[in-house]
Structure 1
Amino acid sequence: MDERQPEPPSEWRYTLRVPYDPLAPAIARSVLARHALPELADIAVLLTSELLTNAWCHAPGPASLSLKWADKRLRASVWDAGLLPPHPTGCPEPYAEGGRGLALVELCADAWGSFAIGPAQGKVVWFELLPDASGRVAA
């Protein structure tokens, strides 16, 4: 009997619908930690958690997470029902409880952005990570 693990596919995609629940980022972190590439897992988990936390804090209703590995890059996208585009807040006060999420995304991702989905249908915030990106800040 051959007990070798099968080779992972060269491309994959997962979509996870998450409820409007403060536990959603933790669930997504668990899923991502098991499916991301080892060299990207820590940063991908951190940034995905930040985007889902923002969706929970700033948008009404559920959200969804899409994780895609293709063209040697990991892309995470979070859809939520919020209509306001995200914006980094700069440097928060040292003991502030929030305000660092998008700054982390901006600092650690190889690319990131957002776009609106039709009139009053929410938005998507996304980031991309490349496995061999030099100059990226480690998580």
Structure 2
Amino acid sequence: MQEREIRAFVTIADARRMDRAAQQLGYSQPAISYQIKCLEKSLRTKLFERTPEGVRLTESGARSLPAAREMLILMERMKRISGVGGNSGANGVTSELDQPHTSDNQRGNPLPHGWRSAGAKSDPPSSRTAPMSTPASS
């Protein structure tokens, strides 16, 4: 469960349309649909029903929405405490995730730049370390 998935869930619930929520968050509609799919998989429940007018929360989605809002508030509080700032975003909660992404996320890679999936052949660059040298004894 990722913050961007929770933020997408709350924004879609408020907008009642995936295209409007995607626009508010600076994502494409396929990207925001994928975020909801991932969140639904994590929660093992369907959160929205599609309608001709947009989307409607399922019973499970309606029960989950207050907790999702609380999670976003707590995440923002943690960011403020740690000194990580953000911009005011949708739903009255601030986050750097409200800014449009122009990195690997637009190319279909949900991992941060430089990271590889579990099946990748090499480790992320940051996990590689040089061999440790031992001090010469006198």
TM-score (norm 2): 0.25
Q: Which has the larger radius of gyration?
A: 2
Higher helix fraction (1 or 2): 2
Higher relative contact order (CA 8 A, sep 6+): 1
